[in-house]
Structure 1
């Protein structure tokens, strides 16, 4: 499993870096194309719609046809779709087409990215669940999360730096990374046999075994996307920076977020025998505190500090709900369970940008107030679940 794990870590790093590079410049791009904030929210939300639909599909498909072909298709599809997005934005910045045309093309490209990216986390987690004992899954999934954290650093930092050469420059640079990842999957992941030839019952959205992992996945991704979509606008409006400088500041803050995310994942991966429910409870409390700092901030330093605290909490949460889902179902249901929980993340991507940009229009701090409340509620759910497991309920 270690050889495959290294490849999965590199693949997730490269693909997340590409995704985060776009988010570092989405605010300035929207402003440069004379579009509105809710247009950015809409493009991210519609990508989440197809993620919700496709995550369960890819997960179930990997149960029947094998993990490698689905993972390869997903990574390659992300690369091609991202190249389409980069090409159109470069064209739009030069020619300034009508707003509706730009909105339609960006939505289409983001939707295609969502279709294929949905396969990557679902199949990656299913591969780990296939070959790792239940007691070690949280640690392995934390390692996978740490690689995503490195992508969170690489993407915004380099994307923000390249923005000085034009807002489309980071997009072209990072369109290559998923294509490199697809080559690595093809060359290094061994071909695996079909997991389950016959159709098996798959977990439903209402499956009680996956209820808490799905709530955690939804609320966490809701808050993540809220931060990603609103941060660029928040930096421009609250810190009074021009679009190019705001892209750099946004990139640097997202890079610091990645550092804290990695640190949390490393801590989880090194601690043996800790129940994922404990990490979920601790992460929820820390993330809630971080977002309180964000909406109460009065300087750029405090803004970055608050996001770092929140990111550390989320770094504890991500491997926790993934391991909880894997440990709750049978071997025959791993792909479907991973896809189901991943689809809950997609639902957070749908609701997060729409709700947060609407709230931002009322008051710029409202999206972060709601994020802090969401994590406080998640902490309550985690505490109740933990209490039940220790026979206290």
Structure 2
């Protein structure tokens, strides 16, 4: 009998969905405000860039630790800690930014405090995603694993769709208002998780999280899937960080036109990805194993990347982005399912933590490579690199043919 059998009444999968949605919504509300806020505070572009870098670095380092810790102390307390930490870091960031706009803080001291707030956020909120993935795996049968994890991907997609629009809307009341909104939203979600979510970890499930991680990293299939996670994220984020430049330069738009146009394009991208992850993955995963789905995702996403440099109009760019969205929507949950099935019972938190670190590594390096290539090697370079990376991963997976344990029916 599991702890879940004495769970509070409610829909735990819905709360997990909302958990990831809130986390991504909270992050993405920063997209339209972080640059003007940074300039208002007297910070350089490079200093503003450190806010994302330090956040992803902390997630890269601590996600495996939190994932494994959820095997020892339980999923629920670790998840709630991640949500409270998310709220704390946003509250601190908003407080320091407010003090900066009022002239109470400035210069190096302000920058250090803002970076420290982001560091706290990355350290603590890195508990959220791997624990939510592990809980979703605990709550799902093996045959439904990819479909259940697809809900996590759909939450990601919807958060990215609505976050920037919400941030732009709330910024009309002040540039720090979206930040405090995210902090409050995180606390509300933490309360809902406390009241509704059951504990899903089985009693006596794991005893040695470090040993779990070492054992998983010795598994060739797990290593391959983690590499694919990191590199496909690198390819995706490299595109996302440069698409604004590409749209502005290709369509010859001014900054305000560029913001509206890119927002519309990324909304289509996000809606397509969310629709595939929330709807199409379930029937696909019942007919196709995770391995072939990973191959399919790499093919579609890579085709979209190679198509992007050939586009020159609003609709052709939007179509290319939609193709990339479909590929990434298939690839993400299929990779999560493959890792979950390869890990076996008792290591769901550990493998989800390793996967979160792989994703964070891609988010750390993708923007630097993408923007650097765009500036020095031409407008097409980031997308050709991303397409090349995805093509190389396709060849690697076809040659290696990693084994994924079949789901029991």
Structure 1 length-normalised TM: 0.87
Give matches, 1:307-318, under 5 Å.
307-318=321-332
The equivalent position to 1:77 in structure 2, one of 74, 85, 89, is 85
Deviations 1:335-363 (A, max 9, x none): 11111111111111221223223223324
Pick closer, same or farther for the CA change 1:217–1:103 going to 2, 3 Å: farther
Distance 1:129 1:174 in 2: 27
Give 1:219's match in structure 2, choosing from 206, 228, 231. Answer: 231
Match of 2:51 in 1: 43
Computing the radius of gyration over CA atoms, which structure comes out larger, 1 or 2? 2
* SS, match of residue 343 in structure 2: coil
SS at match of 1:8: helix
Question: Does 2:388 align with 1:373?
Answer: yes
1:7 aligns with 2:21: no
Q: Which structure 2 residues correspond to residues 14-93 of structure 1 after superposition, within 5 A?
A: 14-30=22-38, 37-92=45-100
Give the 5 Å matches for 1:88-103: 88-92=96-100, 95=103, 100-101=108-109, 103=111
Alpha carbons of 1:287 and 1:197: their partners in 2 closer, same or farther (altered >3 Å)?
closer
1:164 shift after superposition: 5.0
C-alpha RMSD of matched pairs (Å): 2.9
* Contact 1:48–1:349 (Cα < 8 Å) also in 2: yes
Q: 1:208 to 1:188 in 2, by over 3 A?
A: same
Q: Which of 167, 174, 178 is matched with 1:159 structurally? A: 167
Q: Deviations over 1:57-99 (max 9, x none)?
A: 0011000000000000001111121222234345545659766
> Shift in Å at residue 236 of structure 1?
5.2
Distance change in 2, residues 1:310/1:22 (3 Å): same
Judged with a 3 Å threshold, the aligned counterparts in structure 2 of structure 1 residues 195 and 139 are, in CA distance, closer, same or farther, namely farther
> Displacement, 1:186?
0.8
Change beyond 3 A, Cα 1:80–1:233: farther
Distance in 2 between residues matched to 1:86 and 1:318, nearest whole Å = 32
1:273 aligned onto 2:287: yes
Cα shift at 1:315: 0.6
Q: Is the 1:222–1:352 contact (alpha carbons within 8 Å) kept by the matching residues of 2?
A: yes
Alignment partner, residue 140 of structure 2:
132
Could you tell me how far apart the structure 1 residues matched to 2:299 and 2:36 are?
33
Is 1:202 the counterpart of 2:202 in the alignment? no
Structure 1 residues 277 and 197, CA gap change in structure 2 (3 angstroms):
closer
1:358 and 1:94 mapped to 2: Cα distance? 35
Greater Cα shift, 236-245 or 330-339:
236-245
Q: Quick one: distance in 2 between partners of 1:32 and 1:359?
A: 28
Tell me the SS of whatever aligns to 1:331.
Answer: coil
Q: Which runs of 5+ in 2 are unaligned?
A: 5-9, 405-409
Aligned length: 389
Structure 1 residues 114 and 37: CA distance shift in structure 2, 3 A: same
For residues 387 and 328 of structure 1, the distance between their equivalents in structure 2, rounded to whole angstroms, comes to: 10
Unpaired runs of at least 5, structure 1: none
Are 1:161 and 1:248, in contact at CA under 8 Å, matched by a contact in 2? no
Between the aligned partners of 2:69 and 2:26, the Cα distance in structure 1 is 25
